Amino acid sequence: MSKYVKNLIAGELKNRLDGVHDAIVVDVVGLDANSTVQLRKLLREKGIHMLVVKRSLALRATSDTPLRPLFEKKQGSVAVVWGCEDFVSLAKEMMAIVKSGQFAKFQIKSGVMDGELLSAEQVAEISKWPNREEQIALLVGQILGPGANLVAQILGPGRTLAGQIKKLVEQKEGEE
């Protein structure tokens, strides 16, 4: 392949990976054509993109991006997966596919998050973290918790007093 063609392909890869900061490299070697089509369809339904690319061309395309560490120590072709709302969600989806056993040859090789290279084990650990929606729910709970406690403490004595007054009124009505 001539240098001109390599530069054209690298430019196209750069355009496709523009704006991608977090990704995972997976191994799809050994999957037959039908399994690959099913895998791509499954990923597409979840809003995840997969691109099989030659490592050297990917290095050229990602020379000044946070994805560069992902391709530095790889050999041959690699399958890059990116998408989802955040990296934790992507890691969860990839681990779900691995654990399902539907695609026997599908394996996580490594990942990159915020420009830092991660091993397959680190990606598996990150998949156990709460994703963006779960983190927001936790934060909202922590913000609203003290306010709810304060309201309960303010209204508690008033409720107790109202209950006692109601009981006295019922007793007085019962006597008459």
List, for residues 21-76, the tens digit of each pLDDT value: 899 999 888 888 888 899 999 999 999 999 998 888 888 888 888 888 888 877 77
CA dist., res. 95 & res. 91, Å (int): 6
The per-residue pLDDT for range 72-106, each reduced to its tens digit, is: 877 778 899 998 888 999 999 999 999 988 888 88
Alpha helices in the chain (DSSP H): 3-16, 33-45, 55-61, 68-71, 87-100, 120-126, 132-175
Is this structure's pTM higher than 0.85? no
User: Residue 94 CA to chain centroid, in angstroms?
Assistant: 9
